[in-house]
């Protein structure tokens, strides 16, 4: 499974790029994908259309947009691009605007890049790393920071997490030793939902609930069919509106990299 730096070559990193609006920011990221042979101009149009149809759900953290579309013939091979804007632009997100960093993903399938997404989510969850990326003077210095993000972060066990494990974990699994499923949902199931899944998995690991709760990243259409098999859905405000009433609790997460926000959503769901 390719790592983050394998999907993001030096040539795909552009710093202090101008963009008049969110469309221009996505086009700048798409142009890098095209220049590096990852995708065609058609895929860039598909990324734009995704936001036009679903709203700014790709703005998954303050100042950060993760542009992507479904796997399509316009994708030649899985790859990414990284564009730091010279001036931030609004995407129309209620809480995470304006955006200065746009990372674009073009994927040939929905699973081969999960390790890279986990590394990127860990990186963007660390304020010091985000600040370093914001100040990085060259593409080379950005790459050095990304290499560090590929080292898996250890999870310290707190007294509270051990206390949560039992009997609350048994309650989470229905008291029968089985498992629950929580869905993380985005418009395409290959990008932002993986960010949220990574953060959710980290919280469940800390709680020692991973053995009781399965997590699955999926798209809006599939989520409607899978909702009956899940206990809850975590997603963005825009996708929550698109889902409507699916018969299970839907919790809106504003910052997909924020473990505290996901932690609070789980506590609410399970009355912990």
Residue 97 has a CB neighbour count (10 Å cut-off) of 17
> What is residue 227's DSSP assignment?
G
184 contacts 234 by C-beta, under 8 angstroms = yes
Residues whose CB is less than 8 angstroms from the CB of residue 218 and which lie 6 or more positions away in sequence, other chains included:
183, 184, 185, 189, 193, 226
Residues paired with 234 in a beta bridge: 184, 251
47 contacts 67 by C-beta, under 8 angstroms = yes
Which sequence positions are flagged as catalytic? 68
What is the arrangement of strands in the sheet containing 64-68, beginning at the earlier edge strand? Answer: 13-17, 79-89, 99-106, 64-68
> What is residue 236's DSSP assignment?
-
Checking 221-226 for CB contacts under 8 A at 24+ apart, the result is 222/189, 223/183, 223/185, 226/181, 226/183
Give the number of residues written for the chain: 272
Q: Which two tokens stand for residue 198?
A: 């990574």
């Amino acid at each position: 499974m390719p790592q983050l730096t394998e999907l993001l070559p030096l040539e795909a990193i552009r710093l202090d790029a101008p963009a008049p609006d969110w469309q221009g920011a996505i086009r700048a990221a798409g142009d890098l994908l095209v220049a590096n042979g990852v995708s065609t101009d058609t895929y860039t149009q598909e990324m734009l259309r995704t936001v036009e149809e679903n709203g700014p759900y790709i703005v998954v953290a303050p100042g950060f947009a993760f542009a992507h579309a479904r796997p399509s013939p316009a994708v030649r091979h899985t790859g990414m691009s990284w564009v730091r804007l010279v001036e931030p632009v609004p995407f129309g997100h209620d809480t995470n605007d304006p955006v200065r960093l746009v990372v674009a993903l073009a994927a040939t399938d929905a699973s081969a890049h999960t390790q890279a997404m986990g590394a990127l989510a860990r990186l963007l969850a660390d304020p010091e790393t985000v600040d370093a990326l914001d100040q990085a003077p060259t593409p080379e210095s950005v790459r050095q920071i990304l290499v560090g993000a590929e080292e898996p972060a250890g999870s310290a066990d707190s007294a509270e997490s051990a206390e949560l494990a039992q009997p609350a974990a048994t309650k989470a699994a229905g008291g029968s030793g089985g498992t629950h499923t929580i869905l993380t949902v985005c418009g395409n199931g290959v990008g932002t939902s993986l960010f949220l899944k990574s953060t959710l998995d980290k919280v469940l690991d800390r709680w020692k609930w991973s053995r009781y709760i399965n997590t699955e990243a999926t798209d809006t259409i599939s989520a409607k069919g899978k909702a009956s098999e899940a206990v809850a859905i975590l997603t963005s405000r825009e996708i929550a509106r698109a889902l409507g009433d699916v018969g299970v609790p839907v919790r809106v997460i504003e910052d997909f990299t924020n473990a505290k926000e996901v932690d609070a959503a789980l506590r609410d769901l399970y009355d912990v």
